[in-house]
Amino acid sequence: MKKSFNKTKKILLATLALSPALALLSCGQTTTRFDQQEDGVIKLGYSFSSTGREAKAIQAIIKKWNEFDATKKATFPNYLPADKMEFQGGYSGAASTISQKLKAQDKTSLVNLLFNYDSVLANINSYDMSVPFVVDTKDSKKNSEDQNEINTFVNDNFSEIFLKNNTLIPGKSADVIYTIPISKSSEMLSVDGVLLGFIINKATESTTNPATIKSEDTAFFKKYQDMAKDTKSADDIKEIEKLWKEYKHLNKEDGGLGGFEFSKEKFTNYKDLLDLAQRVKKSFPKASEGDSVLDTVSNVIGFDAIANAVYVLSSSISEGDRSKQIVQVKDRKVSFTASQKKDTDSYNNLKQVFEFLYPYIQDETLKISGKGEYSSDFLKSHQLLFAIGSTAGYSHNFVANTGENKSVYTLKTKINSEVKSQNIEERFTFELIKTPKKEVEKAIGYLKNLGTQKESAVFSETDQPQTLLSGSLVVDEAAATKIKSILAGTAEFYISSDKKFGNYVSSNSIPTESIEKVGKQLVKNNSFDIFFLNKATNEIVSQKASAKLNKDELISLASPEKYTSQNTKAIIPLQGPNLFAIHSTEKEDKATIEFVKWFLTSKEDWEKDHKQLTPMEFFKSQTDYISLTNESLNETNPKLRVGSKTAFDVLKKAKANPNDFVILEDAVDSKSSTFRDAIVTTFTTVANREKTGNKLDTFDKFLGTLKTNLGPTFK
């Protein structure tokens, strides 16, 4: 056999790109392809919240497909019904589950299609379990009829700038399509407009060496300067003055705002933006003084995803050359260790990124969000001037002010000598009361609304009335037992099903005697974790919504696209899942490809306001994500929320000027998410060590910690 292979070596190498198994062998990998058990169903896997718009849109798409009549089914010769499979733990949770099932050669519970990041596709490839949507983009004879239709659609409807990952998959031909971008978001820079106006007024009204404003940007900044002086902002200004304390006018040479020129351009690159943030930090030297985290300001700018900033900086420094970046991609091979080798381009690139960011971490100008923490919680409380986060999270960047008496609520948790805080949702959090105004039959306890003080009953799932009263809660046996135990004792508690508490508790190491997760709240077919908050260590503080950052006071801009204004390439981080397939059986693979063709190309009627849309277009219409098709990006006035519009505008520019933009996605490698996590962990450690000692204040120390966090698989 070996001799036969040697004789035909040239022929086999010529056809290597067409054979997934041989491609894997060429990379030194073992082929482990296996057939799944044929259940006659196309399973779509996703990690979206089961109650979110994305999941509901996918369910509507599946329903549409499954309701085809016999005549329409006949137009799909490989037709199989579809079903959903929800993964817990977000994208990383789905990735871990898929990896475990592939490793175990699980033949009964894998999916056919998956919405996730391409690092998961790389893992699927390593088991030779990927299914190409198009076998060869240049030779139609190698494709099925459905694959040719997909190929035509993709070529006609997507710019190459958004399909780059298909050409960078290790061990695969650059002419195959394995992954299709379905729903995307990017990053945005959110600015507290009323706080910015307050700061500019202080700096420009100084009698000695005042700051100035670039003439062409006068109108932009004047709007927020006037806002800060408007009586409608009186509650905001009172809160800002309480938090930020006195303004100190320092000259530009001393790191202050005296003689500084404000301009919109300074928001477009990291060097100028962080320089401005640091000047603001020095101009309010007493902002961090105070007894409570609710009365102080520690930082000026927050990064929700430090890894995104690191990768954008890395790409910008190299002007988009991936062979010189932290994660090196060269000759379609990925290296995560090139940046550890001294004097290489990748090493120097990472060193430059660290040495640029470190001073802003050191003096606490920059806040790096921890797990489950978001800069928006501080931004909307006027405790940050700038925040960089996902465009999909736009609505979390402000507090709705629906009336004069509208209140917002913040939880303060005492942990030894520290106080942690978390914004909470009034509709999910209640006071557990012992004596109600009116008892209800079968109720095991009663809750009081934080705002209205309205009482509602709690019932156990095993003993509830046939018709529930409005506002009532139903809980499982574990939660019911906990509630009965609390009411029998003397301690007082709040109870909450706010999903943010899970990360809040774990990221702050809050002990169970303070906040404990016990049981579930049951709502129809869904269940939600319940958290019990002991009043001995937890206090809920209410504030007027008018004192918070409201929607009309928020400035939403594209996130910085360059390291400095001198860099030529604009770097756009792309977030959100792609669609790819997992091998099942020959029959189910054909049905899966047929479904994808329908998903991309077939016009269908949906709701009364959504006529003649493809399933992909319908999905876009129901969510805050952006479709990257030419038709979508060519729209002149799309009906989008501000966050989505911010992503749309920058992606539209990238499509129109591909030579000036770099679309940034993680390398198509199964280790990408692990490496990204290590970057986050290491930079978070840098920030934490500044407070506790043993600082990581040199690049060598930083790199040593990064290597430790990566572990032996990255050596």
pLDDT tens-digit map of 580-593? 999 999 999 999 99
Q: What is the dihedral of CA 16, 20, 26, 28, to 10 degrees?
A: -170
pLDDT tens-digit map of 521-574? 998 878 899 999 999 999 998 888 899 999 999 999 999 999 999 999 999 999
Over 70: is that where the pLDDT of 6 sits? no
Over 70: is that where the pLDDT of 61 sits? yes
Angle 161-165-166 from CA coordinates, rounded to 5°: 105
Over 60: is that where the pLDDT of 24 sits? no
Q: Pairing state of beta strands 445-449 and 473-475?
A: unpaired
Q: Residue 484 — very low, low, confident or very high, per pLDDT cuts 50/70/90? A: very high
Report pLDDT for 154. Answer: 96
Q: Residue 1 — very low, low, confident or very high, per pLDDT cuts 50/70/90? A: very low
pTM to 2 decimal places: 0.86
Over 80: is that where the pLDDT of 196 sits? yes
- C-alpha 42/C-alpha 591 separation (Å) is 7
Report pLDDT for 71. Answer: 94
579 in Cβ contact with 179 (< 8 Å):
yes
Over 50: is that where the pLDDT of 5 sits? no
Report pLDDT for 639. Answer: 86
CA separation (Å) from 416 to 203, 401, 420, 422, 541?
Answer: 39, 35, 11, 17, 19
**Could you tell me which residue, 531 or 19, shows the higher pLDDT?**
531
Report pLDDT for 422. Answer: 82
Q: Residue 173 — very low, low, confident or very high, per pLDDT cuts 50/70/90? A: confident
What backbone phi and psi angles, to 5 degrees, belong to 191?
-125, 135
Over 60: is that where the pLDDT of 618 sits? yes
Q: Residue 12 — very low, low, confident or very high, per pLDDT cuts 50/70/90? A: very low
List all residues 6 or more positions away from 446 whose beta carbon is below 8 Å from its beta carbon: 432, 433, 436, 440, 455, 456, 457, 458
- C-alpha 171/C-alpha 183 separation (Å) is 26
Q: Residue 419 — very low, low, confident or very high, per pLDDT cuts 50/70/90? A: confident
Question: 3-state DSSP call for residue 43?
Answer: strand
> What does R_g of the chain's alpha carbons equal in angstroms?
28
List all residues 6 or more positions away from 441 whose beta carbon is below 8 Å from its beta carbon: 465
270-283 and 345-362 helices cross at what angle (nearest 10)?
20
Report pLDDT for 591. Answer: 98
pLDDT tens-digit map of 314-339? 999 999 999 999 999 998 899 999 99
User: Of the given ranges (6-10, 165-169, 217-221, 661-665), which has the lowest mean pLDDT?
Assistant: 6-10
96 in Cβ contact with 103 (< 8 Å):
no
Domain parsing of the chain, residue ranges: 32-184+577-627, 187-304+388-399+548-563, 306-360+671-714, 407-545
Largest CA distance in the chain: 90
Mean pLDDT of all residues in 290-308: 92
Task: Tell me what percent of the chain is helix, strand and coil, each rounded to the nearest 5.
Answer: 40, 20, 40
What backbone phi and psi angles, to 5 degrees, belong to 90?
70, -165
292 in Cβ contact with 543 (< 8 Å):
no
Burial 603-612 (b: 16+ CB within 10 A, else e): ebebeeeeee
**Could you tell me which residue, 300 or 442, shows the higher pLDDT?**
300
| Residue 306 falls in which region: left (phi positive, over 0), alpha (psi -120 to 50) or beta | alpha
Report pLDDT for 415. Answer: 84
- C-alpha 335/C-alpha 472 separation (Å) is 55
CA separation (Å) from 18 to 134, 173, 656?
Answer: 11, 7, 33
The CATH class of 32-184+577-627 is alpha beta
Q: For the chain, give the number of residues.
A: 715
643 in Cβ contact with 395 (< 8 Å):
yes
User: What's the whole-number average pLDDT of the chain?
Assistant: 91
pLDDT tens-digit map of 355-399? 999 999 999 999 999 877 889 989 999 999 999 999 988 998 998
Mean pLDDT of all residues in 254-283: 98
Mean pLDDT of all residues in 200-229: 98
Mean pLDDT of all residues in 659-675: 94
Burial class, 398, CB count within 10 angstroms (exposed 0-12 / middle 13-18 / buried 19+): buried
Report pLDDT for 113. Answer: 98
Q: Residue 664 — very low, low, confident or very high, per pLDDT cuts 50/70/90? A: very high
Q: Which two tokens stand for residue 209?
A: 């060496």
Q: Residue 425 — very low, low, confident or very high, per pLDDT cuts 50/70/90? A: confident
Burial class, 142, CB count within 10 angstroms (exposed 0-12 / middle 13-18 / buried 19+): middle
List residues bridging with 455 in a β-sheet: 448
